Structure formats: C-alpha cells, structure tokens
C-alpha cells in the first residue's frame, strides 16, 4: 500500500512524463512541418523549371503534386495530434486515479483511527 507522499510523488512523475511526451510530439510536429516546407519549395522550383520548357514537352502536373503533399502533411500531423491527445488523456486518467486512491486511503486511515479510539 502506498502512503500519501508516495502517491503525490507518483502523480508528479506521471505529469512530468506526460509533459515530456507532449514536448516530444511538438518537436515531431515541427520536424514534419519543416519537411513539408522543404517539399513545397522543391515543387515550386520544379514548377518554375517546367514553365520554361516548350509547350510540346509533356509536363507533370505540379498542382496535383502540391495537393498530394498538402494531404500527406495533414495526415501525418493529424496522427501526431492524436498521439498528443492520448498522452494527455492517459496522464489525466492516471493522476485522477491516484487522487481517488489517495482520498480512499485517507478515509480508511481516518476510519481506522476512529475504530481504534472506540476500542480504548
């Protein structure tokens, strides 16, 4: 059985771990955004290059490639946001569960004291 100080320490550890996970997810989102910007810049440079070619040459559809890149970025960032949301949810459930356990422990100790007091 945990005592109250151990429970509070465990709650702090859970919150710090959740904060670390959120920071990691934020960094992951930043990296994805940087790659997205790089890919869009590359596609824009290819569009400029294709614009200089004669019209007889068949050119790839750059607008379609840009649209596909935007869809890919939205998909990956959505999964990152989902992971961050589940991290916060799990931390909340753990901390809340520990708080309920802490209250029940306090109630049990108070009941034990009352019981011991009545015996004397």
The percent of residues above 90 in pLDDT, for the chain, comes to 6
pLDDT classification of 1: cutoffs 50, 70, 90: low
Residue-range definition of the domain harbouring residue 94: 4-119
Whole-angstrom Cα distance, residue 76 to residue 91? Answer: 23
Q: What is the pLDDT of residues 85-108, one digit of tens each?
A: 888 888 888 888 888 888 888 888
Q: What is the pLDDT of residues 35-67, one digit of tens each?
A: 999 998 998 888 888 888 887 877 778 888 888
Structurally, how many domains does the chain consist of?
A: 1
Round the average pLDDT of the chain to a whole number and report it: 84
| Ordered DSSP codes for the chain | ---HHHHHHHHHHHHHHHHHHHHHHHHHHHHHHHHHHHHHHHHHHHHHHHHHS-TTS----HHHHHHHHHHHHHHHHHHHHHHHHHHHHHHHHHHHHHHHHHHHHHHHHHHHHHHHHHH-
């Amino acid at each position: 059985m945990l005592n109250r100080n151990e429970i509070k320490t465990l709650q702090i550890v859970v919150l710090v771990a959740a904060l670390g996970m959120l920071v990691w997810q934020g960094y992951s989102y930043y990296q994805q955004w940087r790659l997205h910007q790089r890919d869009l810049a590359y596609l824009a440079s290819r569009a400029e290059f294709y614009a200089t070619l004669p019209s007889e040459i068949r050119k790839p559809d750059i607008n379609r490639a840009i649209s596909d890149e935007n869809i890919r970025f939205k998909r990956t960032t959505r999964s990152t946001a989902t992971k961050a949301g589940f991290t916060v949810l799990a931390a909340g459930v753990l901390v809340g569960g520990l708080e309920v356990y802490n209250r029940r422990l306090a109630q049990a100790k108070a009941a034990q004291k009352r019981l011991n007091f009545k015996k004397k």
